[in-house]
Amino acid sequence: MDSGGVTSAVPQPAVPQPRPTTQPPARERGGRRSLAAALLLGAVGATVVLLSTRQTWSEGAAATAGGALDVIAKGSDVTGAPAALAIVGLAALVAVFAVRRAGRYLVSGLLALSGAGIMAAALNGAGDSAALDEQAATTTGDAGATAAGIAHTAWPYVAAGGGLLILCAGVLALWFGARWPAMSGRYERGGAAAAKRRAKAPDPDRPEDLWKALDRGEDPTG
């Protein structure tokens, strides 16, 4: 509106400026979460399996001339597969970060198979009494002795649960492993190259070294 030669300016609404976002992309966030979950599941699962195999899986009594003797069989007496596969799973979990592409899928598959193998071995040993019979034969000194009144504990199922955690870690590695970071060899390669250059630095007092450097296209003065 113009009044007395003075034009009044109509204030314009401020246009909000977009703020730069500092949030990582959704793909990166998902990769970090799956990585943390896999590490946690794998480490906890392996720990559970290793601890479970040291516990009593079955117990009973062996008859002797002087009476009955209590005998027990630990998980390691029943089967050594769960503990061995737990160690393999831990190694595979670490190796996931040292390999790329197809190698990462192979290691992730090994991690998943370790968990599945633990579950199968633990469940198969849950009702096993052969190890308890061996303990009875050892305790009584009679090779034909067997255990009576056998009772099984829940520890084999705990070990199977630990195997399930490792299996889940392997599945996460297979599904999201391509988004996870890998060990970078850039600095190692740079350091090795520098060391190689230092090792091959020509000796200015030896003309043959200078000629060899020139033949390689290197500056013998640098």
| Residue 89 covered by a domain | yes
| Residue 174 covered by a domain | yes
Looking at the fold, whether 173 and 138 belong to one and the same domain comes out as: yes
Greatest mean pLDDT among 8-17, 18-27, 138-147, 198-207 lies in 138-147
pTM: 0.68
| Residue 68 covered by a domain | yes
Q: Which two tokens stand for residue 65?
A: 């001339």
Looking at the fold, whether 191 and 178 belong to one and the same domain comes out as: no
| Residue 121 covered by a domain | yes
The model's pLDDT over 151-166, given as tens digits with 9 standing for 90+, comes to 999 999 999 999 999 9
How many separate domains does the chain show? 2
Looking at the fold, whether 158 and 191 belong to one and the same domain comes out as: no
Confidence of residue 186 (pLDDT cuts 50, 70, 90): very low
> Is pLDDT at 191 greater than 70 in this prediction?
no
Backbone angles phi, psi at 194, to 5 degrees: -65, -45
User: Can you tell me the distance from the alpha carbon of 69 to that of 73, in angstroms, rounded to the nearest whole number?
Assistant: 13
> Is pLDDT at 76 greater than 70 in this prediction?
yes
Q: Which two tokens stand for residue 156?
A: 């084999």
**Of all residues in the chain, what percent are helix, strand and coil, respectively (each to 5)?**
60, 10, 30
| Residue 4 covered by a domain | no
Beta-carbon neighbour count of residue 97 at 10 Å?
A: 16
Is residue 46 within 8 A of residue 166, CB to CB? The reply is yes
| Residue 74 covered by a domain | yes
Q: What is the CATH number of the domain that holds 103?
A: 1.20.140
- Helix (H/G/I), strand (E/B), else coil: 129: coil
Looking at the fold, whether 66 and 145 belong to one and the same domain comes out as: yes
- Domain extent for 55: 29-183
Looking at the fold, whether 66 and 129 belong to one and the same domain comes out as: yes
> Is pLDDT at 42 greater than 70 in this prediction?
yes
The model's pLDDT over 52-68, given as tens digits with 9 standing for 90+, comes to 999 999 998 887 766 77
**DSSP tag of 216:** T
| Residue 82 covered by a domain | yes
pLDDT at 141: 78
Looking at the fold, whether 140 and 201 belong to one and the same domain comes out as: no
Is residue 172 within 8 A of residue 31, CB to CB? The reply is no
Looking at the fold, whether 152 and 203 belong to one and the same domain comes out as: no
Looking at the fold, whether 99 and 83 belong to one and the same domain comes out as: yes
Q: Provide CB contacts within 8 A for 161, sequence distance 6+.
A: 48
User: Can you tell me the distance from the alpha carbon of 1 to that of 9, in angstroms, rounded to the nearest whole number?
Assistant: 8
The model's pLDDT over 15-40, given as tens digits with 9 standing for 90+, comes to 555 555 554 555 555 567 888 899 99
